Structure 1
Amino acid sequence: MRIIILLFLWTNGIFAQVRSVEGKVIAASDQSALIGATIISSVDTVITNIEGRFTIACENSPTRISVQYVGFASEDIEINKTDTFITVVLKTSNNILETAVISASMVEQNIAESTVSLEVLKPSIIENSNSQSLDQALNLLPGVEIIDGQASIRGGSGYSYGAGSRVLLLIDNIPALQPDAGFPNWNDIALENVAQVEVVKGAASALYGSSALNGVINVRYAMPGSEPETNFSINTTYYANPSDLRTKWWDSAPYAIGTHFLHKRKMGKFDLVAGVQYYQLESFRAETYQRRGRITVSNRYRINERSTLGLNVVGNLSDNASFIFWENGVRGAYQPFAGTEVVSFNNRWIFDPHYTYFDQKGNKHRLQGRLYYTDNGASNGLDNFSLLNYGEYQFQTAFPSLKLKLTTGISGTVTNIIAGLYGGARYRSNNAGTYLQIDKEIGERWRLSLGGRYEYNSLRNSEILIEDGDFREQVDAAQTQEGKPVFRFGANYQMAKATYIRSSIGQGYRFPTIAEKFTTVGLANFRIFTNEDLQSETGWSAEIGLKQGVRMGGNGAFFDLAIFWSEYLNMMEFLLTAKSGVFGFQSSNIGDTRIRGVDLNFAGVLGSQRFPVNFLMGYTFLDPRYKEFDDRTRASSSVDYNILKYRSQHTAKADIQVSGYGAFVGGNFRFVSHMVAIDEEFNLFIPGLKNFREANDSGYYLLNFRTGYQWKNYKLSFIIGNVLNASYAVRPALLEAPRNFSLRMDGSF
Structure 2
Amino acid sequence: MNRILLFLLAGLFLNTIQSQNATLKGVLMDGDYNEPLIGANIVLNTGNGASTNLDGEYSISTEPGTYTVDFKYVGYKTVTKSITLSAGEVKTINLTLNPSINQLDDVVVSASKYEQKLGEVPVSMAVIKPALIENKATRDAEAIIEQVPGVQVNENQISIRGGSGWSYGAGSRVLVMVDEMPMLAGDANDIKFSAIPMENIAQIEILKGASSVLYGSSALNGVINIRTKYPKEKPLTNITVSNGYYLPGYFNRALTASNGSDSIAERDQQTWWDGAQYYVQSNFTHLRKLGKNNELVVGGNFMQDQGYRKGSFENRYRLNGGLKHYSEKIDGLTYGLNVNTNFNDGSVFFIWANADSVLHALGGTDTATTTLSEYSSTRIMIDPYLTYLDTNGNKHNIRTRLFRSDNKNNTNQAATSNYYFAEYQFQKRWDNQLSLTTGLTFSFTDVISELYGDHTSNNIAGFLQLDKKWDKVTLTGGTRLEYYRIDSVFTEGKLFSIDKTLPFQPVFRLGATYNPMEYTFIRASYGQGYRFPSIAEKYISTFVGGLNIFPNANIQPEYGWSAEIGIKQGFKIKNFQGYLDLSGFLTQYTDMMEFVFGFYNLDGADITDAELAAVVQANGFGVLANYLGARSNNIQNANIPGFEASIVGQGDIGDFTISTLAGYTYINPTAINPDSAYLATFSDPDSKTLKYRNKHMAKIDFQVDYKKVAFGASIRYTSFMANVDKAFTEALPGVVIDGAPVEILPGYGPYRDARRTGDIVCDARLSFGVTKSSRLSLLMTNVFNREYSNRPANVLPPRTIICQYALKF
TM-score normalised according to structure 2 size: 0.86
Q: Secondary structure at the match of 2:114?
A: coil
Give 1:36 deviation, angstroms: 2.2
1:327 maps onto 2:353 in alignment: yes
1:601-637 deviation line (CA, Å, top 9, x unaligned): 0112144373111000000001000111321122110
Distance in 1, Cα, partners of 2:722 & 2:663: 21
Query: Does the aligned pair in 1 maintain the 2:358–2:795 contact within 8 Å?
Result: no
1:411 maps onto 2:436 in alignment: no
Residue 536 of structure 1: aligned partner: 557
Give 1:525 deviation, angstroms: 2.2
Q: Secondary structure at the match of 1:178?
A: coil
Distance in 2, Cα, partners of 1:552 & 1:14: 54
Residue 155 of structure 1: aligned partner: 162
1:681-706 deviation line (CA, Å, top 9, x unaligned): 01123112112211210011101111
1:245-302 deviation line (CA, Å, top 9, x unaligned): 2312222221110101111100111100001210111100111111011001011000
Residue 566 of structure 2: aligned partner: 545
1:56 maps onto 2:60 in alignment: yes
Q: Which moved more, 1:508-517 or 1:248-257?
A: 248-257
Distance in 1, Cα, partners of 2:545 & 2:433: 63
1:556 maps onto 2:577 in alignment: yes
1:447 maps onto 2:474 in alignment: yes
Distance in 1, Cα, partners of 2:301 & 2:203: 19
Residue 699 of structure 1: aligned partner: 758
Distance in 2, Cα, partners of 1:233 & 1:712: 15
Residue 378 of structure 2: aligned partner: 347
1:469-496 deviation line (CA, Å, top 9, x unaligned): xxxxxxxxxxx99520000000000122
Residue 773 of structure 2: aligned partner: 713
1:235 maps onto 2:242 in alignment: yes
2:484 pairs, out of 457, 467, 486, with 457
Distance in 2, Cα, partners of 1:197 & 1:300: 22
Distance in 2, Cα, partners of 1:563 & 1:295: 42
Residue 277 of structure 2: aligned partner: 254
Aligned pairs (5 A) from 1:105-116: 105-116=112-123
Distance in 2, Cα, partners of 1:735 & 1:531: 30
Query: Does the aligned pair in 1 maintain the 2:199–2:300 contact within 8 Å?
Result: no
What RMSD in Å do the two structures reach over aligned CA positions?
2.2
Query: Does the aligned pair in 2 maintain the 1:380–1:523 contact within 8 Å?
Result: no
Distance in 1, Cα, partners of 2:152 & 2:54: 38
Residue 427 of structure 1: aligned partner: 455
Distance in 2, Cα, partners of 1:141 & 1:714: 28
Residue 318 of structure 2: aligned partner: 294
Q: Secondary structure at the match of 2:648?
A: strand
What amino acid sits opposite 2:417 in the alignment? S
Q: Secondary structure at the match of 1:716?
A: strand
Query: Does the aligned pair in 2 maintain the 1:16–1:60 contact within 8 Å?
Result: no
1:26-47 deviation line (CA, Å, top 9, x unaligned): 3222233333211112452222
What amino acid sits opposite 2:306 in the alignment? E
Distance in 1, Cα, partners of 2:90 & 2:407: 62
Query: Does the aligned pair in 1 maintain the 2:594–2:635 contact within 8 Å?
Result: yes
Query: Does the aligned pair in 2 maintain the 1:426–1:461 contact within 8 Å?
Result: no
Q: Secondary structure at the match of 2:361?
A: coil
Residue 23 of structure 2: aligned partner: 20
1:374 pairs, out of 405, 408, 423, with 405
Residues 378 and 609 (structure 1 numbering): CA distance in 2 closer, same or farther, change over 3 Å? Answer: farther
Q: Percent identity?
A: 36
Query: Does the aligned pair in 2 maintain the 1:270–1:301 contact within 8 Å?
Result: yes
Aligned pairs (5 A) from 1:205-284: 205-243=212-250, 244-268=267-291, 269-284=293-308
Q: Secondary structure at the match of 2:536?
A: helix
Please list every run of 5 or more consecutive structure 1 residues that lacks an aligned counterpart in the other structure: 1-5, 463-479
Aligned pairs (5 A) from 1:132-143: 132-143=139-150
1:598 maps onto 2:643 in alignment: yes
1:510 maps onto 2:525 in alignment: no
Distance in 2, Cα, partners of 1:364 & 1:346: 38
Residue 723 of structure 1: aligned partner: 783
Give 1:731 deviation, angstroms: 0.9
Q: Which moved more, 1:25-34 or 1:736-745?
A: 25-34
1:588 maps onto 2:607 in alignment: no
Give 1:326 deviation, angstroms: 1.2
Q: Secondary structure at the match of 1:130?
A: coil
The structure carrying a bigger strand percent of its residues is 1
Residue 612 of structure 1: aligned partner: 657
What amino acid sits opposite 2:640 in the alignment? I
1:573-627 deviation line (CA, Å, top 9, x unaligned): 1223355314433111111000000111011214437311100000000100011
Query: Does the aligned pair in 2 maintain the 1:193–1:221 contact within 8 Å?
Result: yes
What amino acid sits opposite 2:237 in the alignment? T
1:624 pairs, out of 655, 662, 669, with 669
1:420-439 deviation line (CA, Å, top 9, x unaligned): 111xx321100011000111
Residue 471 of structure 1: aligned partner: none
Query: Does the aligned pair in 2 maintain the 1:324–1:341 contact within 8 Å?
Result: yes
Please list every run of 5 or more consecutive structure 2 residues that lacks an aligned counterpart in the other structure: 1-8, 251-266, 364-368, 490-500, 601-623, 731-742
Q: Secondary structure at the match of 1:744?
A: strand
Distance in 2, Cα, partners of 1:166 & 1:533: 20
1:647 pairs, out of 693, 696, 707, with 693
Give 1:10 deviation, angstroms: 10
What amino acid sits opposite 1:142 in the alignment? P
1:682 pairs, out of 698, 722, 728, with 728
Distance in 1, Cα, partners of 2:75 & 2:723: 43
Distance in 2, Cα, partners of 1:145 & 1:308: 38
Give 1:108 deviation, angstroms: 1.1
Query: Does the aligned pair in 2 maintain the 1:387–1:415 contact within 8 Å?
Result: yes
Q: Which moved more, 1:86-95 or 1:402-411?
A: 86-95
Q: Which moved more, 1:410-419 or 1:577-586?
A: 577-586
Residue 738 of structure 2: aligned partner: none
1:310 maps onto 2:336 in alignment: yes
Residue 465 of structure 2: aligned partner: 437
What amino acid sits opposite 2:632 in the alignment? S
Distance in 1, Cα, partners of 2:479 & 2:510: 9
1:365 maps onto 2:396 in alignment: yes
Residue 199 of structure 1: aligned partner: 206
Distance in 1, Cα, partners of 2:807 & 2:90: 42
Q: Which moved more, 1:372-381 or 1:232-241?
A: 372-381
Distance in 2, Cα, partners of 1:340 & 1:68: 60
1:37 pairs, out of 33, 37, 40, with 40
Q: Secondary structure at the match of 2:685?
A: coil
1:736 maps onto 2:764 in alignment: no
1:127 pairs, out of 134, 137, 140, with 134
1:46 maps onto 2:50 in alignment: yes
1:174 pairs, out of 155, 178, 181, with 181
Query: Does the aligned pair in 1 maintain the 2:716–2:762 contact within 8 Å?
Result: yes
Residues 238 and 482 (structure 1 numbering): CA distance in 2 closer, same or farther, change over 3 Å? Answer: farther
What amino acid sits opposite 1:163 in the alignment? A
What amino acid sits opposite 1:331 in the alignment? S
Residues 293 and 536 (structure 1 numbering): CA distance in 2 closer, same or farther, change over 3 Å? Answer: same
